[in-house]
Structure 1
Amino acid sequence: MASFPLSLVSFSLTFLFFLSPALSTNSEGNALHALRSRFNDATNVLQSWDPTLVNPCTWFHVTCDANNHVIRLDLGNSNISGSLGPELGQLKHLEYLELYRNDIGGKIPKELGNLKNLVSMDLYGNRFEGKIPKSFSKLKSLRFLRLNNNKLSGSIPRELTGLSNLKVFDVSNNDLCGTIPVDGPFSTFSMESFENNRLSGPELQGLVPYDFGC
C-alpha cells in the first residue's frame, strides 16, 4: 500500500502531461487557427489547417524553418474573404506575409507591427479600410510593403520614414490624404506608388501641415 500514493502521483502527472496545451499545439498554430476562423474559404485552400497537429508546419501555404517556426504565409490569390485579427502578431518569426488579391476587408491590425522579422508584406488587391498602422514603423527588416488597391484612408504615417531597409512601397489606388513623406527611403519611391489617392503631393516641410488636405 505504501507505493499507492506514489503511483497516484505518477498517474496524475502523466494525465496532466497529456492534457498540456503546449504539447497538442503551439502559439503559432493557435494564431493561424484563429486566422482561419475569421476567413471564408470558398475553395477550401485551408482544408489542411488541422488544429490537432503539434505544429502547423505540415499545413499547405505555410512554410517553417528548421526549428518549426512559421516564416512564410502564402495565401495570395486564394479566393479568401473575411478579416484579419490581432493574433497574427503572434507569428514572431514570420518573414513573408502574402495575402494579396483576395477579398479581405476590415482594418489592418496594429499587431502586425510586432512581426520584427518581416521582410515582405503584400496586402494589395483586397478591401482593407481605415488607416495604415503607425506600428509598421517597428518593422526594421521590412523591404517590401504593398498596400495598393484597397480602401485605406488617412495620411501616410510619417513614422515609416525610419524604415531604412524599405525598397518598395506602394499605396496607389486607395483613399489616402495629406502629403507624401520625403525623408528616408521615401526620397527614392516613384510617384506611381502614390497615384489615385487624395494626396496633396510631396511634403513641404515647415510650410504646410503634414496632414494637409485630410
Structure 2
Amino acid sequence: METTLFLAIFLLLLDPFNVVSANFEGDALFAFRRAVKDPNNVLQSWDPTLVDPCTWFHVTCDDDKRVTRLDLGHAKLSGYLVPELGRLQRLQFLELYKNDLMGPIPKELGDLKNLVSLGLYQNNLTGSIPATFSNLSNIKFLRLNSNKLTGRIPRELTKLRNLKILDLSNNDLCGTFPTSGSFSKFAEESFKNNPRLEGPELMGFVRYDTGESCK
C-alpha cells in the first residue's frame, strides 16, 4: 500500500499535468464502462484505481499518455454511449461498430476535434445525427450505417472538407440528403435504405428539405 502511494506521488511530482489529464480521461472512459454490459469481459482490465488508462486493453495512448484510440468493434457490448467520451480531446479513432449499443449519439462527440474515424455502424442507436459533428474538422471516415437513426441529415456536415468515406445507409432518416460542399462527392449509395429519405436536394429546382416536418 505504501509503495503504491509513493509511486503515485512520485509520478505526480514528475509530470503533474499528464497525470491529471490521464486521470481525467480515465474517468471519462470508466463512465462509458459503467454504461455498458460486457458479457465477454473485454473491459476487465479497465481499473479506475490505476494512475492512467493507457494500460487498459483496447485503449491506445500517445507519448503524453493521452488517449488516441478506442477500439471496441465487435465486442458484444450493449448499453449506451455517454457524453463523457467527448472529453477525450486527442482521440483520433473511436471504433464501436458491430455491438448492441442503443440510445442517442451524444452531441458531445462533436467536441472530438482530432477525430479521424468514427465507426458506430451496426448498432441500435436511435435519435438524430448531432449537428455538432460539423465541428469534426479532421474526420475522414464517418460510418453511422445500420442503426435506427431518425430525423434529417444536418446540412452543417457539408462543411467537413476532409471527409472521404460517409455511410448513413440503413437507417430511418428522412427529408432529402445534401449535395453541396463535401457531400457533392458522395453517391446515393451512402444514403440508401432510408425509406423516408426522398433523395438529393435539388437547389434551384425544388425546395430543399428544412427538416421542419421531418421527425
Q: Give 2:197's aligned residue.
A: 199
Summarize deviations over 1:16-67 as a string: whole Å, max 9, x none. Answer: x79x9x8686110000011100010010000000101111000000000011
SS for the counterpart of 1:89 is helix
Runs in 1 of length 4+ with deviation above 2 angstroms? 22-25, 211-214
* Cα distance in 2 between the residues matched to 1:29 and 1:135: 24
Q: Give 2:209's aligned residue.
A: 210
Structure 1: which 5+ residue stretches go unaligned? 1-13
- Could you say which structure has the larger radius of gyration? 1
If the length of structure 1 is used for normalisation, what is the TM-score?
0.88
Q: Give 2:69's aligned residue.
A: 72
* Cα distance in 1 between the residues matched to 2:185 and 2:83: 32
Pair 1:158 & 2:131 matched = no
* Cα distance in 2 between the residues matched to 1:90 and 1:26: 12
What is the number of equivalent residue pairs in this alignment?
Answer: 198
SS for the counterpart of 1:87 is helix
Pair 1:130 & 2:127 matched = yes
Pair 1:95 & 2:92 matched = yes
Does structure 2 retain, via aligned residues, the 8 Å contact 1:177–1:211? no
* Cα distance in 2 between the residues matched to 1:195 and 1:108: 21
Q: Give 2:3's aligned residue.
A: none
In the TM superposition, 1:3-152 aligns within 5 A as 26-152=23-149
SS for the counterpart of 2:37 is strand
Q: CA deviation at 1:190?
A: 1.7
* Cα distance in 2 between the residues matched to 1:172 and 1:116: 24
Summarize deviations over 1:155-200 as a string: whole Å, max 9, x none. Answer: 0000000000001110100000011101111111121110110211
Q: Which residue identity does 1:45 align to in structure 2? A: V
Summarize deviations over 1:70-90 as a string: whole Å, max 9, x none. Answer: 000000000000001110011
Q: CA deviation at 1:211?
A: 3.6
Q: Which residue identity does 1:210 align to in structure 2? A: D
* Cα distance in 2 between the residues matched to 1:61 and 1:192: 31
* Cα distance in 2 between the residues matched to 1:77 and 1:42: 12
If the length of structure 2 is used for normalisation, what is the TM-score?
0.87
SS for the counterpart of 1:193 is helix
Identity fraction in percent: 60
Decide which moves more: 188-197 or 149-158.
188-197
* Cα distance in 1 between the residues matched to 2:80 and 2:187: 30
SS for the counterpart of 2:156 is helix
